[in-house]
A and B are shown apart, each in its own frame.
Chain A
Amino acid sequence: MCKLYDSPEFIRAFLDEVDEQLELFEKNILNLERDPNDEIIRALFRIAHTLKGSSAAVGFEKMKTLTHKMEDVLDRIRTGKIKVTKPLIDVLFRCLDELKTLKEEFSSKGNNIKTDITLTLSELHKYISGDQLLKKTVGAEINKEFKLDLEQQIQIQQAVASGLNVFVCEVKIKKDCVMKAVRAFLILNFLNQLGTVIKSEPDMTDMNDNIDVESISYLLITEFDKEQLKVKVLDRMLEIESFNADLFDLSLIQSQSDNGCNVTKDSGYEKQNTNEIRNKTNQTVRVDIGRLEKMMEMVGELVIEKSRISQIVSLLHERYSSDNSFEDLEEISNQISRITNELQELVLKVRMLPIKQLFSRIPRLVRDLADSLHKEIELVIEGEDTELDKTIIEDLADPLVHLIRNAADHGIEAPDERLKAGKNPKGTIRVNAYHQENQFILVVQDDGRGINLNKVKEVALKKGIISRQESDLLNDKEVLELIFKPGFSTSQSISDISGRGVGMDIVRNNINKLNGVIEVETKEWEGTKFIIKLPLTLAILNGLLIRINNEIYAIPVSNVIEIVRLNEKEIKKIKNQDVVIIRERTISLIWLHDYFKVRRNIRNKNIVIVILGIAEKRFGLVVDELIGNQEIVVKNFGSYIGKLDIFSGATILGDGNVACILDVAGIVKTTAFKKSYDKEFA
C-alpha cells in the first residue's frame, strides 16, 4: 500500500470529514423530500463534490466513483434536467447508505474494499443516461480514449479551477498527406503554443514515423474558447481535413482507475488541496481524544490540590488571622480556586458536543420506519444544541434508536386506527434534550396507544418472567418496569423493526453503563414517555459523600433520586427483605453494613436512607451520616486490585484521604438485596 495510507492523521481527518459531510447530506435529502428547492440541491451538490475531492485525495477509488456519479445526477437536478421524485430520493438515500458502508469498510480495512457499488451506480446511471447520451455521444466517445494518470488529472482539475478551458481536439489529417506522424507533431507543437497539451491519442511518444495516423485527439488546456481555437488552427496548419474541439468531460477523470503509486507521488499536492478546502469549511482543530483525556486527568488533580489548599487555609485561619501574609495566602487560595474552576469547566466543555450529531440520524430513521410500517409520523426534535460528553453521546445512540423504533412500531397506531380513536391520523414522536441541574435529560415521547399494563403482565407471565403469585403483588409502576426485562416483547410478530425483545434490554444496559436513570410514564390511548437522565460527563462527577461505619464513600449524584429520614419503625419486612414505603412505592433497603460485615449502628431512631436509581431500578441505601456534596475525580484502582463488585473507583478528598466511589449498578448486582429480589421476581 502506498505511503499516503500510512499517515493516520490524514486518514482520520478524512474519515471525520466524511462523517460530517454524510450527516449533512442526510439532513439535506430529508429536506429535499419535504421541500425541493435550489438551495438544498446546491448544498447536496457541494457535499458530493467535497466528498469526491477528499476521497480522491486519499485514493479511495470506490467512494470517488460513487460520489462522482452522484454529483452528475445532482447537477442534472440543479440544471432542471430531471425532477425530484420519490424514487430519485430513494436512490440518493441508497447512495448515502452505500457511502456509509464504504466509509466503515475503509476505516477498518483501508482501501481493500469489498462492497459492491455497481448496482447503485447503474441506478444512478439511469438518471444520467437518456438525453445526455444522445446529445453527447460524440464527445463521450472521444473523451473515453484518454487514460490519464493522477498527475494529469490534477493538472486538469487545477486548470478548470483557475478558469481555463480543457478541450479535446480531434484533428483529421488529410488522407494524401505524407509523413502524417510529423504533421501530427507539428500540430502538437502549435497547440502547445496556444496552451498545454496534456495528452494525445494515439500517444506521440510511442508513435514512430511510419505509423499511418489519420485522426489524432489532443487533450489541451487553453485560455482560448472553442471558436478562437478552431480559427487559429485552421488558419495556421496545413493539410488538415477537419478540426473539432469539444469541452473535455471532466467527469471522466474520476471514473478512471489509477494505481496506488501515482498517488504517492502526488500526495503533497493533494494534501494541500484538501487542506485548503477544509480550512474554508470550518475553523476548528481536531484533537486526539487521548490528549483531552490526559488534560482532563491533570485538571482533575489540580481540583484535588485546590481543595486541599483551601482546607489548609481554613485550618490556619484561626491561628494566624491577624497576620498580613495570611491574608495574602487566603487571597491566593481563593484566586486559585476560581481559576481552577474555570479551567475545569473549560476542559469539560472541550469534550462536550451538541447532541445534534446524534439527533441528525433520527429524521431518516423515522422516515424509513413510517415508510415500512405504513404509518404517518410527524417528528418533533427539540434541544439539539444541548451539549453532552462525547463518549456519552456514542453510548446513547443505540438506546435512542431503540426507543424511537418502539415508539413507531408499538406506540403509534395505524392511520385508520387513530382516526377511529378520534386522533389526528398523523402520529407524533417528540424527542427532546435539555440540561437540568448538572444532568442531561433526554425525553422520547409518542402520542400512540400507550402501554397496556394488563398485556404486559400477561406477556411476562407467559414468558415466565414473573409467576402468577408475583403478578398479583405488583403495582402499576412495577408492572411497567417489566418491559426492561431481557426477552420481553409485547409485539405479536417479530419484524425487522422490533419484537425480538432485546431492544429495551439494550436501552437498560447502556443507561446502566453510563450511570444513568430511566423512567417510563404511560397513559393508555394517550402515549408513552421515556425519560433518560445522565451525568454530563463521566470523568469529573458530582458526588454525594456519605459515611458508613467510619469510612467515607462517594455516590454519583446522578444516581441519587432523593434522601429521606425515616423512623426505624417504618421499616417493614417482606420475605426477610427490609423495605420502606415511600409515596406508595415499595423500596427495598440495602445495608452495606452487612456486606462489609460491620454492625448496623443506629445512633438515633431516625435512619438516613439515600434512594438510589440505576436505569429502571430503585432502592434505598441506609447510611450512617450524610457529609455533603463535592466534585469528585474518578480514579481507577489499577490492575493490581482490578475490578471490584461495588466500587467503580476511588477519589481523593479535600483532606488528602481516599474515598471509594460506590457503583450503584454493582451494588444492585452484588448485595443480598439481589438474591432476595431475584427469588421474588426471577
Chain B
Amino acid sequence: MNELLDYQYVVYELCGEKYAIKINEVYEIIRLKKITYLYNSKSYLEGIINLRGKIVPVINIHRILGLENYSDTKSTRIVILRFNDELIGTIVDRVIQVAKFSDIQPTPETVDEIDGNYFEGLGITQDGEVIAIMKVDKLLNAEY
C-alpha cells in the first residue's frame, strides 16, 4: 500500500462521485469529440475516435461500473490511458485536479455500491476526503 503514496493522481468525477487514477497511466486528456459507434460484442465499448490520425477506442466506464450513463456536457472529457502499449479512451464527467494522498486504506468490498475489485484502495487527502483509486487493468479488461 505504501508505494501508492508516492504517486500523483488525476482526480475525476463520475456521476457526482470522485475517483482517482495514477497520473503515469494517463496519456492525455481531451474534450469529448465525435465518437464513431462501432458495432461489436463488447457493450461497454463506446466507439472509436481519431486522435491526431490514430484510431483510439473509447470505453464507457459508467456502464462498466453500473452507473447512470454520462451526458454530454461542457466539462465531459475523454481521459486517454496508456495500457499495454495502446491508447484507450475513457469518458469522465469532469476532471478535477491532480493530487497526492496522505494515506491509503485497503478497499472495502464495495465502494458506492461498486464492486471493490475495481479499486486499488481508498486514498485520503490532506483535507480528509476519501477518493477511490481505479485499478486500470481490471477496468479495461472488464468482461461484459
Q: Contact residues of A with B, CB < 8 Å?
A: 301, 304-305, 551, 595-596, 635-641, 644-647, 650, 652, 656-660
Contact = CB atoms under 8 A, between A and B. Distances in A.
A582 to B, nearest CB: 28
Nearest to A297: B53
B45 A641 contact: yes
Contacts of B86: 638-640
A551 B55 contact: no
Given A650-B48, A652-B53, 15 more contacts: A304-B53, A551-B36, A595-B39, A635-B54, A637-B57, A638-B55, A639-B84, A640-B140, A644-B40, A645-B40, A652-B50, A656-B50, A658-B48, A658-B49, A659-B36
B67 interface: no
Contacts of A638: 55, 57, 86
Q: Which secondary structure dominates where chain A touches chain B?
A: mixed
Nearest to B36: A658
29 contacts: A305-B53, A551-B36, A595-B39, A596-B39, A635-B54, A635-B55, A637-B38, A637-B57, A638-B55, A638-B86, A640-B57, A640-B83, A640-B84, A640-B86, A640-B140, A641-B40, A641-B57, A644-B38, A644-B40, A650-B38, A650-B48, A650-B55, A652-B50, A652-B53, A657-B34, A658-B47, A658-B48, A658-B55, A660-B48
Interface in B74-94: 83-84, 86, 88
Interface of B: 34, 36-40, 45, 47-50, 53-55, 57, 83-84, 86, 88, 140
B88 A551 contact: no
Contact of B88 (A301, A640, A656, A659): A640
Contacts of B48: 637, 641, 650, 658, 660
B55 A636 contact: yes
- 7 closest cross-chain pairs (CB), A and B: A658-B36, A301-B53, A635-B55, A652-B50, A650-B55, A658-B50, A596-B39
Contacts of A301: 53
Contacts of A636: 55
A645 B84 CA distance: 23
A660 B37 CA distance: 9
Contacts of A635: 54-55
Nearest to A304: B53
B72 to A, nearest CB: 16
A650 B36 CA distance: 10
Instruction: Identify the interface centre among B47, B48, B57, B83: most chain A CB within 10 Å of its CB.
Output: B48
Contacts of A647: 38-39
A660 B48 CA distance: 9
B117 to A, nearest CB: 20
A552 to B, nearest CB: 8
Instruction: Identify the interface centre among B38, B45, B54, B57: most chain A CB within 10 Å of its CB.
Output: B38
Contacts of A595: 39
A650 B55 CA distance: 7
A163 to B, nearest CB: 61
Contacts of B50: 652, 656-658
A641 B44 CA distance: 11
A635 B47 CA distance: 15
A641 B36 contact: no
Contacts of A639: 84, 86
A595 B45 CA distance: 17
A637 B55 contact: yes
B34 A660 contact: no
B51 to A, nearest CB: 10
Given A641-B45, A658-B50, A551 B57 contact: no
B56 to A, nearest CB: 8
Contacts of B36: 551, 650, 657-660
Nearest to A649: B55
A418 B105 CA distance: 90
A657 B37 CA distance: 11
Nearest to B140: A640
A650 B45 CA distance: 15
A659 B48 CA distance: 9
A305 B50 CA distance: 12
